[in-house]
C-alpha cells in the first residue's frame, strides 16, 4: 500500500501535531519531524517546509523498501523514522523534536535516571542517550535504534529527543512527558545529585502503567 489521499485525516493529524509542538515550545521552527505508519511504510513530514504552510498533499509517503511518493522530499531524518517503525511492530508513530531541557541533557550525554516514577512512561528504568552521528545518516539511525531497545523514548546526543508510541496522540503525549521529566531532572540537579527510585519500584510502576496515559479513541 502506498500513499493514498484517502488518508487525509492522518496527514492532517501530522500537520496538527507539528503545529502543536511549536505552540507548546516542544520544538522550534522546522527542526522537528513526525511520522505515522502507513501500510508498508510511513507518512512523514517534508523537509524544510514551515508547518503553517503544510497541506495534507505535502506529507510524503516513504516505503520500507525506499520508495517515495509525494510532491516533496521527505524529512532529512526519514532514516531513523523508517528504521524504527520497521524494527518495532509495537510503534506506529514517531515524534522527533529539539525541546530545550531534553536537548540540554543530550548535549551533556546525560540520560534521565529514575528520579520520578513517570520515567516508566518511556518503557523502562531510564531514558537513554543515543550516541551522536550526523543528522540524516544511517549511523544516527543505528544509534537511535540501540537507545530505543525496550524503550519508547530517548535523547539524542548534541541533537534532541525522540518519542514513539502506538498512536500519534500517545507519541505526542509521551514527548511532552519526557520534556517535563528532563526539566524536573535539570532543576533537581541544581540542588545536587538527586536521589533515585529503586529499580524494583520502577518495575512495579511499569506493571501498573499498562494502559496508562491518554485513552484511545
3 state DSSP class of 183 = helix
pLDDT digit of tens for each residue in the chain (217 aa)?
Answer: 344 556 899 999 999 999 999 999 999 888 899 999 999 999 999 998 999 999 999 999 999 999 999 999 999 999 999 999 999 999 999 999 999 999 999 999 999 999 999 999 999 999 999 999 999 999 999 999 999 999 999 999 999 999 999 999 999 999 999 999 999 999 999 999 999 999 999 999 999 987 666 666 5
**What's the grid cell of residue 107?**
548535549
DSSP state of 52: G
Quick one: CA dihedral 19, 129, 42, 75, positive or negative? positive
Which residue out of 57, 77, 179, 207 is catalytically annotated? 77
Fold assignment, 5-208:
L-fuculose-1-phosphate Aldolase (3.40.225)
Please name the residues in contact with 4: beta carbons below 8 A apart, sequence gap of 6 or more: none
Nearest CA to 133 out of 156, 111, 101 is that of 156
The residue extents of the domains of the chain are 5-208
CB 133 within 8 A of CB 118: no
Q: Are 59 and 14 in contact (CB under 8 A)?
A: yes
Is 77 an active-site residue?
Answer: yes
pTM of the model: 0.93
| Separation of alpha carbons 184 and 151, rounded Å | 20
Amino acid at each position: 500500500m502506498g500513499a493514498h489521499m484517502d488518508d487525509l485525516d492522518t496527514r492532517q493529524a501530522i500537520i496538527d501535531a507539528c503545529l502543536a509542538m511549536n505552540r507548546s515550545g516542544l520544538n522550534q521552527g522546522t527542526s522537528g519531524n513526525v511520522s505515522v505508519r502507513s501500510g508498508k511504510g510511513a507518512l512523514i513530514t517534508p523537509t524544510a517546509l514551515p508547518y503553517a504552510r503544510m497541506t495534507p498533499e505535502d506529507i510524503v509517503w516513504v516505503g520500507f523498501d525506499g520508495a517515495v511518493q509525494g510532491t516533496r522530499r521527505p524529512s532529512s531524518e526519514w532514516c531513523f523514522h523508517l528504521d524504527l517503525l520497521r524494527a518495532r511492530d509495537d510503534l506506529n508513530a514517531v515524534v522527533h523534536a529539539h525541546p530545550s531541557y531534553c536537548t540540554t541533557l543530550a548535549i551533556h550525554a546525560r540520560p534521565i535516571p529514575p528520579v520520578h516514577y513517570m520515567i516508566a512512561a518511556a518503557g523502562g528504568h531510564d531514558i537513554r542517550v543515543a550516541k551522536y552521528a550526523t543528522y540524516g545518516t544511517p549511523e544516527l539511525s543505528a544509534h537511535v535504534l540501540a537507545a530505543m531497545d525496550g524503550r519508547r523514548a530517548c535523547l539524542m546526543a548534541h541533537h534532541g529527543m525522540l518519542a514513539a508510541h502506538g498512536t500519534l496522540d500517545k507519541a505526542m503525549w509521551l514527548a511532552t512527558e519526557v520534556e517535563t521529566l528532563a526539566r524536573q531532572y535539570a532543576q533537581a540537579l541544581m540542588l545536587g545529585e538527586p536521589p533515585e527510585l529503586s529499580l524494583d519500584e520502577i518495575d512495579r510502576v511499569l506493571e501498573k502503567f499498562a494502559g496508562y496515559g491518554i485513552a484511545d479513541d
